Structure 1
């Protein structure tokens, strides 16, 4: 059954973003009015950053380890899971390549150079050495730091898997450790929610100081980035998703996709959540003829790890920072690491409150940028979140069609077309 979208539901979904944007807008106005004097407000913004920094490490650890430790039924995925991972990976790479080409040709922060202290470029190492440094640390205490987010994520996922394995090997139905991890995860999620209540003030104060110092130059860069991003998403939807639907079922696949995808698009824009869009996505997938055993696995999994829109946003953030620091966003090693970071942000951070903030921490930690740039790229996420979520959710639907073809065979749509038409007749 599709989720009923009411005016109250839409307003409630957008309230956090609206509060943040109001705070940022007020801060920008104060910065333009007070100019250099607005720097006195910067400590209020630093309080918010410090609070987030202290909560983010335990939140990531407990959230990921708890989620994986609770997994119990992975065997029945089989062929569906293999094709799901493959399709998700391919579409994510395609989205990443498209945005990289565009931001390389049209840098979103071209001509904007903001001084955030001295930026020390990482030592010149080969790609393999850089990869090792990115995913591992030399001692346990080093993993408990915001600068080691990728190693922390890998550690948390491995720990959660080990807890799940031990639980199964001992024949336990309830593991107190799993319960503890779950409770700690919920506690830190609650803490993040409390910290986010201060976010409009903190980010507003921070932007007052930034605008007071850099004026309309930074606002112009935001305008350029947003004006670039929305057409990119629309073109990606119309071209790539059309091609994906054609791969899934030829001309019939395209027709069926566009007949049933708009409720998903509207719901995701209204709720800004792939998870909240799941009921609508299930109904649309059924009308598209996707077998229930496939949609029941692909769509929930897609709502948490299939994030083409998130990949687009993350790479836009990275390109934006490269522009601010007057760095050249080009070269195979630069692009590969950017794609890896965008994939990690989409796969791991999607189900965690404040995931945009933590995804920004991964970007900053990996490249060694000054953490003070985090509010800048978080704001990009706020401005682009709705349409990025729409790409995520509708991408799950078309991915389920492609996976149905891979699992059921090339004639899967012909075999289910009668059922699709029957459902459409009942809907009229």
Structure 2
């Protein structure tokens, strides 16, 4: 029994532990052997280059294939639109409150003694910035990581075009599905060398910046885990109150233990779906609502990822000595959180897609990627807890707003053991 538990733990957390081990070993190497890091840094550069090149076709195939294979017989009814509205609203609430938390507890850390961290960022007016973000003048420019948002928009349009093409587009849809599978396997192969690649990169960073580098991560992690815990306890209680009044708060927390433990134990929102479906029934959410909200929420609704997106953006702004302020900067951050919460769910290691989106949208150089990757790795357990358990409380609100009488009936059924 104990051996089985250990096996399950390493199965769920093995990749994270290997990644952290590689980063720790690299950091120690960089601190002790500063003159030798020039020999290992190319390993980190090669890994980042592989990641950059693999992620472009992956994003295209994953998004286009998902849209191209939507079941056209299912109409997008009022309940579905209400679900999307609640998902987006909670993601934005999480992002806005995180921005306020960053303002109250700023991450003051500027790493400016290296050329990679003093590169000029793009300075454009808002019109030019929006145009450059969502479109390119040439097709080949879509293949650049600097135009990630434009690539996502193009992928969405391609998916809808394939969906509308009917029988004539069946071969192309099959190509998209096959390409999605191949690119997922490619990314998994690349990520197998992540402990070595990121370890080499962090050896270089530790040698250049010394102990101050780790102060940045310590502050960002303290911010995430502190605010994330507050959001989990307070905001989820508020959502439960909206969904069912004072009794709704009790009902939510009473039935949230198993999904919460499953989320922490597996670090996978998908793995929590069975526990969430059972919890949704016990919370009084009508079956037809729970069966829609929980599976779709596992991929489309991610409050934890929304919080981590803002923290990652704040970290990289701090590391480059830039001010995380201004209406255009903050609105762009909110837009990124919504896109990341939708896009990353259907992609393996999808958080890295959001991280690439951050550095491409704001024009940061590749040196920014390892910083946001390590933050994303370290916050993953709490992020998964927020992502997964936020689906049932969202279901309570959707049921209350869209079918209040049905919720009350379900509650009576539960009390009577029906």
Q: TM-score, normalised by structure 1?
A: 0.93
Query: Is 1:377–2:372 an aligned residue pair?
Result: yes
SS in 1 for 2:165: helix
- Correspondence for 2:171 among 176, 181, 191: 176
Shift, 1:353, TM fit:
1.4
Give the match for residue 412 of structure 2.
418
CA shift at 1:144, angstroms?
Answer: 1.2
The structure 1 residue matched to 2:286, chosen from 291, 295, 299, is 291
Deviation at 1:288, TM superposition (A): 0.7
Q: Secondary structure at the match of 2:346?
A: coil
In structure 1, how many angstroms separate the alpha carbons of the residues matched to 2:223 and 2:133? 30
Residue 7 of structure 1 deviates from its aligned partner by 4.4
Unmatched runs of 5 consecutive residues or more in structure 1: none
- 1:356-371 pair list within 5 angstroms: 356-371=351-366
For 1:422 and 1:153, how far apart are their aligned partners in 2? Answer: 49
Give me the whole-angstrom Cα distance separating, in 2, the residues matched to 1:96 and 1:297. 24
What's the counterpart of residue 280 of structure 1?
A: 275
- The counterpart of 2:305, out of the listed 310, 317, 320, is 310
Q: CA deviation at 1:36?
A: 3.9
What SS is found at the alignment partner of 1:110? coil
Contact 2:263 2:271 in 1 (8 A): yes
For this pair of structures, how many residues does the alignment match? 414
1:392 is displaced (CA, Å) by 0.7
The separation in 2 between residues aligned to 1:74 and 1:281, in whole angstroms, is 27
Change (3 A) 1:256 1:73: farther
1:36–1:213 Cα contact (<8 Å) kept: no
Distance in 2 (alpha carbons) for counterparts of 1:416 and 1:77: 24
The TM-score normalised by the length of structure 2 is 0.95
Q: Partner of 1:91 in structure 2?
A: 90
* d(CA) in 1 for partners of 2:73, 2:216: 45
CA distance in structure 1 between the aligned counterparts of 2:129 and 2:343, rounded to whole angstroms = 21
The within-5 A match list for 1:55-204 is: 55-73=54-72, 75-113=74-112, 115=114, 116-126=116-126, 128-167=127-166, 170=167, 175-204=170-199
Q: Which residue of 2 aligns with 1:234?
A: 229
- 2:216 corresponds to: 221
Which among 256, 260, 266 is matched to residue 261 of structure 2? 266
CA shift digits 1:37-76 (9 cap, x unpaired): 3232110101101111111111111111111111114634
